[in-house]
Structure 1
Amino acid sequence: MNFSNSTTDKTERLKNRNALAAQWESIDWTQVQKDVNRLQSRIAKATVKGDMNKVKRLQYLLTHSFHAKAYAVKRVTSNKGRNTSGVDRKLWSTSASKMKAVLTLTDKHYRTKPLRRVYIEKKGKNKKRPLGIPTMYDRAMQTLYALALEPVAETTGDHISFGFRKGRSAKDDKKVFSYMGIRKRHQRLF
Protein backbone atom coordinates (compact mmCIF):
# COMPACT_ATOMS: atom_id res chain seq x y z
CA MET A 1 0.00 0.00 0.00
CA ASN A 2 1.39 3.38 -1.00
CA PHE A 3 0.92 6.21 1.51
CA SER A 4 3.27 8.69 -0.14
CA ASN A 5 0.41 11.09 -0.96
CA SER A 6 -1.01 11.02 2.57
CA THR A 7 -0.33 13.33 5.49
CA THR A 8 -1.18 10.48 7.84
CA ASP A 9 1.78 9.78 10.13
CA LYS A 10 3.56 6.45 9.57
CA THR A 11 3.10 5.50 13.24
CA GLU A 12 -0.67 5.65 12.72
CA ARG A 13 -0.60 2.93 10.07
CA LEU A 14 -1.09 -0.10 12.26
CA LYS A 15 -1.92 -3.55 10.95
CA ASN A 16 -3.13 -5.29 14.12
CA ARG A 17 -6.96 -5.38 14.38
CA ASN A 18 -6.96 -4.69 18.11
CA ALA A 19 -4.56 -1.80 17.69
CA LEU A 20 -6.67 -0.40 14.84
CA ALA A 21 -9.81 -0.67 16.97
CA ALA A 22 -8.08 1.02 19.91
CA GLN A 23 -6.86 3.79 17.64
CA TRP A 24 -10.41 4.41 16.31
CA GLU A 25 -11.81 4.45 19.85
CA SER A 26 -9.17 6.95 20.99
CA ILE A 27 -9.97 9.61 18.36
CA ASP A 28 -10.97 12.92 19.95
CA TRP A 29 -14.02 13.77 17.83
CA THR A 30 -14.39 17.31 19.17
CA GLN A 31 -10.81 18.04 18.06
CA VAL A 32 -11.48 16.41 14.69
CA GLN A 33 -14.55 18.62 14.21
CA LYS A 34 -12.58 21.74 15.22
CA ASP A 35 -9.72 20.98 12.82
CA VAL A 36 -12.04 20.28 9.88
CA ASN A 37 -14.11 23.41 10.61
CA ARG A 38 -10.94 25.51 10.92
CA LEU A 39 -9.69 24.37 7.51
CA GLN A 40 -13.13 24.90 5.97
CA SER A 41 -13.21 28.44 7.40
CA ARG A 42 -9.79 29.15 5.93
CA ILE A 43 -11.00 27.87 2.54
CA ALA A 44 -14.07 30.14 2.72
CA LYS A 45 -11.94 33.18 3.66
CA ALA A 46 -9.51 32.52 0.81
CA THR A 47 -12.48 32.19 -1.56
CA VAL A 48 -13.86 35.56 -0.43
CA LYS A 49 -10.44 37.14 -1.02
CA GLY A 50 -10.27 35.52 -4.47
CA ASP A 51 -6.99 33.74 -3.72
CA MET A 52 -7.68 30.55 -5.67
CA ASN A 53 -4.13 29.22 -5.29
CA LYS A 54 -4.56 29.31 -1.52
CA VAL A 55 -8.00 27.69 -1.88
CA LYS A 56 -6.45 24.82 -3.86
CA ARG A 57 -3.64 24.36 -1.32
CA LEU A 58 -6.07 24.35 1.61
CA GLN A 59 -8.41 21.92 -0.17
CA TYR A 60 -5.46 19.61 -0.79
CA LEU A 61 -4.47 19.91 2.86
CA LEU A 62 -8.04 19.12 3.96
CA THR A 63 -8.54 16.13 1.66
CA HIS A 64 -5.21 14.62 2.71
CA SER A 65 -5.51 15.27 6.46
CA PHE A 66 -6.07 12.45 8.92
CA HIS A 67 -8.86 14.30 10.73
CA ALA A 68 -10.86 14.98 7.56
CA LYS A 69 -10.55 11.33 6.51
CA ALA A 70 -11.65 10.17 9.97
CA TYR A 71 -14.58 12.61 9.90
CA ALA A 72 -15.64 11.39 6.43
CA VAL A 73 -15.57 7.75 7.54
CA LYS A 74 -17.50 8.59 10.71
CA ARG A 75 -20.20 10.40 8.71
CA VAL A 76 -20.55 7.50 6.29
CA THR A 77 -20.68 4.90 9.07
CA SER A 78 -23.16 6.79 11.23
CA ASN A 79 -25.72 7.89 8.64
CA LYS A 80 -28.95 6.19 7.59
CA GLY A 81 -27.30 4.12 4.83
CA ARG A 82 -24.56 2.64 7.01
CA ASN A 83 -26.04 -0.88 6.78
CA THR A 84 -26.28 -0.84 2.97
CA SER A 85 -23.30 -2.21 1.09
CA GLY A 86 -22.28 -1.54 -2.50
CA VAL A 87 -21.15 -4.00 -5.17
CA ASP A 88 -18.20 -5.13 -3.04
CA ARG A 89 -20.63 -6.15 -0.23
CA LYS A 90 -18.34 -4.57 2.39
CA LEU A 91 -19.64 -2.76 5.45
CA TRP A 92 -17.51 -0.85 7.92
CA SER A 93 -19.22 -1.98 11.09
CA THR A 94 -16.26 -2.62 13.41
CA SER A 95 -13.89 -0.05 14.86
CA ALA A 96 -10.94 -1.81 13.20
CA SER A 97 -12.56 -1.71 9.75
CA LYS A 98 -13.37 1.99 10.20
CA MET A 99 -9.79 2.80 11.18
CA LYS A 100 -8.44 0.75 8.29
CA ALA A 101 -10.74 2.73 5.97
CA VAL A 102 -9.36 6.01 7.33
CA LEU A 103 -5.79 4.87 6.70
CA THR A 104 -6.50 3.62 3.17
CA LEU A 105 -8.65 6.57 2.04
CA THR A 106 -6.46 8.14 -0.63
CA ASP A 107 -6.93 9.51 -4.14
CA LYS A 108 -3.82 7.74 -5.41
CA HIS A 109 -4.96 5.41 -8.23
CA TYR A 110 -8.58 5.92 -7.13
CA ARG A 111 -11.28 4.55 -9.42
CA THR A 112 -14.93 4.38 -8.49
CA LYS A 113 -16.56 1.00 -8.40
CA PRO A 114 -19.82 0.39 -10.28
CA LEU A 115 -23.05 1.12 -8.44
CA ARG A 116 -25.09 -1.74 -7.05
CA ARG A 117 -28.49 -1.52 -8.75
CA VAL A 118 -31.49 -2.16 -6.52
CA TYR A 119 -35.13 -1.68 -7.46
CA ILE A 120 -37.39 -0.14 -4.83
CA GLU A 121 -41.16 0.35 -4.78
CA LYS A 122 -42.54 3.75 -5.78
CA LYS A 123 -44.78 5.28 -3.15
CA GLY A 124 -48.45 4.68 -3.90
CA LYS A 125 -47.74 2.82 -7.15
CA ASN A 126 -47.13 -0.75 -8.23
CA LYS A 127 -44.01 0.22 -10.17
CA LYS A 128 -40.40 -0.03 -9.10
CA ARG A 129 -37.65 2.51 -9.63
CA PRO A 130 -33.90 1.87 -9.86
CA LEU A 131 -31.56 2.97 -7.09
CA GLY A 132 -27.77 2.98 -7.43
CA ILE A 133 -25.83 2.26 -4.24
CA PRO A 134 -22.12 3.18 -4.12
CA THR A 135 -19.56 1.28 -2.04
CA MET A 136 -18.63 2.50 1.43
CA TYR A 137 -15.22 3.57 0.12
CA ASP A 138 -16.80 5.64 -2.67
CA ARG A 139 -19.23 7.25 -0.20
CA ALA A 140 -16.36 8.16 2.12
CA MET A 141 -14.37 9.62 -0.78
CA GLN A 142 -17.42 11.66 -1.87
CA THR A 143 -17.87 12.93 1.68
CA LEU A 144 -14.19 13.81 1.97
CA TYR A 145 -14.24 15.87 -1.22
CA ALA A 146 -17.59 17.44 -0.28
CA LEU A 147 -15.89 18.75 2.87
CA ALA A 148 -13.43 20.61 0.65
CA LEU A 149 -15.99 21.85 -1.89
CA GLU A 150 -18.78 23.01 0.46
CA PRO A 151 -16.98 26.15 1.74
CA VAL A 152 -16.45 27.38 -1.83
CA ALA A 153 -20.03 26.57 -2.87
CA GLU A 154 -21.50 28.26 0.21
CA THR A 155 -19.31 31.33 -0.22
CA THR A 156 -19.94 31.82 -3.93
CA GLY A 157 -23.55 30.60 -3.99
CA ASP A 158 -26.61 32.84 -3.99
CA HIS A 159 -27.44 33.98 -0.46
CA ILE A 160 -31.19 33.49 -0.99
CA SER A 161 -30.90 30.01 -2.51
CA PHE A 162 -32.27 27.35 -0.17
CA GLY A 163 -32.51 24.13 -2.20
CA PHE A 164 -30.13 21.30 -1.29
CA ARG A 165 -28.01 23.45 1.00
CA LYS A 166 -26.71 22.50 4.39
CA GLY A 167 -28.49 24.28 7.23
CA ARG A 168 -31.18 25.78 4.99
CA SER A 169 -34.89 24.94 4.79
CA ALA A 170 -38.24 26.07 3.42
CA LYS A 171 -38.74 28.15 6.58
CA ASP A 172 -35.79 30.31 5.56
CA ASP A 173 -37.46 30.71 2.17
CA LYS A 174 -40.64 32.00 3.84
CA LYS A 175 -38.64 34.49 5.92
CA VAL A 176 -36.99 35.95 2.82
CA PHE A 177 -40.34 36.26 1.06
CA SER A 178 -41.87 38.01 4.07
CA TYR A 179 -38.92 40.45 4.22
CA MET A 180 -39.43 41.19 0.53
CA GLY A 181 -43.10 41.97 1.20
CA ILE A 182 -44.39 39.01 -0.79
CA ARG A 183 -47.27 37.33 0.95
CA LYS A 184 -48.56 34.96 -1.72
CA ARG A 185 -46.55 32.34 -3.55
CA HIS A 186 -47.92 33.21 -7.00
CA GLN A 187 -46.90 36.88 -6.76
CA ARG A 188 -44.01 37.78 -9.12
CA LEU A 189 -40.60 38.62 -7.69
CA PHE A 190 -39.26 40.78 -10.54
Structure 2
Amino acid sequence: MKTIAFLLHNNFEQAEYEDVNNQLKEKGYKTILITTNKDKEVQAMNQDVNKGDTFTADIFANEAKADEYDALVLPGGTVNADTIRGNKEAHSIINAVYEAGKPLAVICHAPWVLINTGIAKGKNLTAYHSLQTDLENAGANFIDETVQVDGNLITSRNPDDIDNFVEAIDKALS
Protein backbone atom coordinates (compact mmCIF):
# COMPACT_ATOMS: atom_id res chain seq x y z
CA MET A 1 0.00 0.00 0.00
CA LYS A 2 1.39 3.38 -0.99
CA THR A 3 1.62 6.13 1.61
CA ILE A 4 0.78 9.76 0.93
CA ALA A 5 1.84 12.42 3.43
CA PHE A 6 0.07 15.73 3.98
CA LEU A 7 2.13 18.63 5.34
CA LEU A 8 0.32 21.50 7.01
CA HIS A 9 0.21 24.14 9.71
CA ASN A 10 -2.70 25.83 11.48
CA ASN A 11 -5.23 27.64 9.28
CA PHE A 12 -5.06 25.26 6.32
CA GLU A 13 -8.08 25.00 4.02
CA GLN A 14 -10.13 22.12 5.44
CA ALA A 15 -11.53 20.79 2.15
CA GLU A 16 -8.06 20.71 0.59
CA TYR A 17 -6.95 18.33 3.33
CA GLU A 18 -10.08 16.46 4.35
CA ASP A 19 -11.70 15.92 0.94
CA VAL A 20 -8.40 15.05 -0.76
CA ASN A 21 -7.46 12.74 2.12
CA ASN A 22 -10.83 10.95 2.03
CA GLN A 23 -10.74 10.46 -1.75
CA LEU A 24 -7.19 9.10 -1.62
CA LYS A 25 -8.13 6.67 1.18
CA GLU A 26 -11.12 5.51 -0.90
CA LYS A 27 -8.63 4.72 -3.69
CA GLY A 28 -6.65 2.51 -1.28
CA TYR A 29 -3.84 4.83 -0.20
CA LYS A 30 -2.56 5.11 3.35
CA THR A 31 -2.23 8.73 4.48
CA ILE A 32 -0.24 10.43 7.20
CA LEU A 33 -0.50 13.97 8.55
CA ILE A 34 2.70 15.94 9.21
CA THR A 35 2.64 19.32 10.93
CA THR A 36 4.98 22.24 11.47
CA ASN A 37 2.96 23.26 14.56
CA LYS A 38 4.45 23.13 18.05
CA ASP A 39 1.78 20.61 19.03
CA LYS A 40 -0.04 17.96 17.03
CA GLU A 41 -3.47 19.62 17.08
CA VAL A 42 -3.98 21.46 13.80
CA GLN A 43 -6.79 23.97 13.19
CA ALA A 44 -8.54 23.97 9.82
CA MET A 45 -10.26 26.97 8.24
CA ASN A 46 -13.00 27.32 5.66
CA GLN A 47 -12.39 30.03 3.03
CA ASP A 48 -9.65 31.45 5.29
CA VAL A 49 -12.18 33.13 7.62
CA ASN A 50 -14.36 30.51 9.33
CA LYS A 51 -12.86 28.05 11.79
CA GLY A 52 -13.18 24.48 10.68
CA ASP A 53 -12.41 21.25 12.49
CA THR A 54 -9.29 20.37 14.44
CA PHE A 55 -7.18 17.42 13.29
CA THR A 56 -4.41 15.52 15.07
CA ALA A 57 -1.14 15.14 13.19
CA ASP A 58 0.76 11.86 13.22
CA ILE A 59 4.23 13.41 13.36
CA PHE A 60 6.12 16.70 13.37
CA ALA A 61 7.94 17.97 10.28
CA ASN A 62 11.35 17.49 11.92
CA GLU A 63 10.55 13.76 12.27
CA ALA A 64 9.44 13.28 8.67
CA LYS A 65 11.56 11.18 6.31
CA ALA A 66 10.96 11.51 2.57
CA ASP A 67 11.84 7.86 1.91
CA GLU A 68 8.80 6.77 3.97
CA TYR A 69 6.27 8.43 1.64
CA ASP A 70 5.31 7.83 -1.97
CA ALA A 71 3.94 11.36 -2.42
CA LEU A 72 3.53 14.61 -0.52
CA VAL A 73 0.45 16.87 -0.59
CA LEU A 74 0.45 20.52 0.49
CA PRO A 75 -3.07 21.86 1.13
CA GLY A 76 -3.65 25.59 0.83
CA GLY A 77 -5.05 28.19 3.14
CA THR A 78 -3.38 31.60 3.05
CA VAL A 79 -1.93 31.56 6.58
CA ASN A 80 -0.93 27.89 6.34
CA ALA A 81 0.95 28.44 3.08
CA ASP A 82 2.56 31.65 4.28
CA THR A 83 3.78 29.93 7.45
CA ILE A 84 5.14 26.87 5.65
CA ARG A 85 6.94 28.96 3.04
CA GLY A 86 9.13 30.33 5.84
CA ASN A 87 9.72 27.00 7.62
CA LYS A 88 13.10 25.36 6.91
CA GLU A 89 12.03 21.96 8.32
CA ALA A 90 9.10 21.96 5.91
CA HIS A 91 11.39 22.95 3.04
CA SER A 92 13.65 19.98 3.83
CA ILE A 93 10.89 17.39 3.48
CA ILE A 94 9.35 19.14 0.45
CA ASN A 95 12.66 19.31 -1.40
CA ALA A 96 13.61 15.75 -0.44
CA VAL A 97 10.35 14.36 -1.83
CA TYR A 98 10.60 16.47 -4.98
CA GLU A 99 14.27 15.65 -5.61
CA ALA A 100 13.53 11.93 -5.15
CA GLY A 101 11.16 12.20 -8.12
CA LYS A 102 8.07 11.46 -6.03
CA PRO A 103 4.82 13.31 -6.70
CA LEU A 104 4.61 16.68 -4.96
CA ALA A 105 0.96 17.78 -5.11
CA VAL A 106 0.24 21.41 -4.20
CA ILE A 107 -3.14 23.18 -4.25
CA CYS A 108 -4.56 26.72 -3.99
CA HIS A 109 -2.26 29.01 -1.95
CA ALA A 110 0.30 26.26 -1.25
CA PRO A 111 2.24 26.90 -4.51
CA TRP A 112 3.58 29.99 -2.70
CA VAL A 113 5.81 27.51 -0.86
CA LEU A 114 7.39 26.50 -4.18
CA ILE A 115 8.90 29.99 -4.48
CA ASN A 116 10.80 29.66 -1.19
CA THR A 117 11.91 26.08 -1.86
CA GLY A 118 13.26 27.04 -5.30
CA ILE A 119 10.98 24.56 -7.08
CA ALA A 120 8.76 27.12 -8.88
CA LYS A 121 11.40 28.49 -11.24
CA GLY A 122 10.93 27.23 -14.79
CA LYS A 123 7.86 25.12 -13.96
CA ASN A 124 4.45 25.10 -15.60
CA LEU A 125 1.99 25.38 -12.75
CA THR A 126 -1.32 26.69 -11.53
CA ALA A 127 -2.53 28.07 -8.21
CA TYR A 128 -5.10 30.35 -6.68
CA HIS A 129 -5.41 33.31 -9.08
CA SER A 130 -3.97 35.89 -6.64
CA LEU A 131 -0.60 34.07 -6.66
CA GLN A 132 -0.06 34.47 -10.41
CA THR A 133 2.21 37.54 -10.19
CA ASP A 134 4.30 36.12 -7.33
CA LEU A 135 4.80 32.83 -9.18
CA GLU A 136 5.64 34.52 -12.48
CA ASN A 137 8.11 36.82 -10.70
CA ALA A 138 9.73 33.67 -9.32
CA GLY A 139 10.19 32.34 -12.87
CA ALA A 140 7.19 30.00 -13.09
CA ASN A 141 4.92 29.73 -16.12
CA PHE A 142 1.42 30.26 -14.67
CA ILE A 143 -1.34 28.38 -16.50
CA ASP A 144 -4.95 28.90 -15.38
CA GLU A 145 -6.26 25.32 -15.58
CA THR A 146 -7.79 23.00 -12.98
CA VAL A 147 -4.62 20.93 -12.72
CA GLN A 148 -1.15 21.33 -14.13
CA VAL A 149 1.44 18.52 -14.13
CA ASP A 150 5.11 19.29 -14.78
CA GLY A 151 7.23 16.22 -14.18
CA ASN A 152 6.53 15.09 -10.61
CA LEU A 153 5.01 18.47 -9.66
CA ILE A 154 1.19 18.54 -9.56
CA THR A 155 -0.55 21.86 -8.92
CA SER A 156 -4.20 22.85 -8.69
CA ARG A 157 -6.16 26.08 -8.23
CA ASN A 158 -8.73 25.71 -5.43
CA PRO A 159 -11.25 23.41 -3.69
CA ASP A 160 -13.48 23.36 -6.79
CA ASP A 161 -10.72 21.40 -8.55
CA ILE A 162 -10.22 18.70 -5.90
CA ASP A 163 -11.61 15.80 -7.97
CA ASN A 164 -9.19 16.54 -10.84
CA PHE A 165 -6.36 17.11 -8.34
CA VAL A 166 -6.93 13.69 -6.74
CA GLU A 167 -7.10 12.02 -10.16
CA ALA A 168 -3.74 13.56 -11.09
CA ILE A 169 -2.18 12.31 -7.85
CA ASP A 170 -3.61 8.82 -8.41
CA LYS A 171 -2.37 8.77 -12.01
CA ALA A 172 1.13 9.86 -10.92
CA LEU A 173 1.27 6.99 -8.43
CA SER A 174 -0.09 4.33 -10.83
Instruction: Name the TM-score, length of structure 2 as normaliser.
Output: 0.29
- Which of 1 and 2 has greater Rg? 1
Q: Highest relative contact order (Cα 8 Å, sep 6+), 1 or 2?
A: 1
Instruction: Name the TM-score, length of structure 1 as normaliser.
Output: 0.27
Higher strand proportion: 2
Higher helix proportion: 1
